[in-house]
Amino acid sequence: MTTRSDEDAARTLCSHMVPGPYPFESVLVLDDHLGPTDWLVRCSRCGAPCLLEMLDMAGSLRLYRTRLPEAGAVQGLIRDLERGSCDIRRAGEQARHFSLSSRALDRLILLDPGKQTLVRLLSMDPELRIPGASWRELDCDGQWIRMLTATPG
Which of 11, 16, 33, 103 binds Zn ion (CB under 5 A)? It is 16
Residue 9 interacting with Zn ion (CB under 5 A): no
Residue 18 interacting with Zn ion (CB under 5 A): no
Residue 121 interacting with Zn ion (CB under 5 A): no
Q: Interface with Zn ion by CB under 5 A: which range of 8-16, 72-80, 86-94, 113-121?
A: 8-16
Binding residues for Zn ion, how many (CB under 5 A)? Answer: 6
User: Rounded to whole angstroms, what are the CA distances from 29 to 45, 50, 133?
Assistant: 20, 12, 18
Question: Residue 7 burial (CB < 10 Å; 0-12/13-18/19+)?
Answer: exposed
Residues that bind Zn ion (CB under 5 A): 14, 16, 43, 45-46, 48
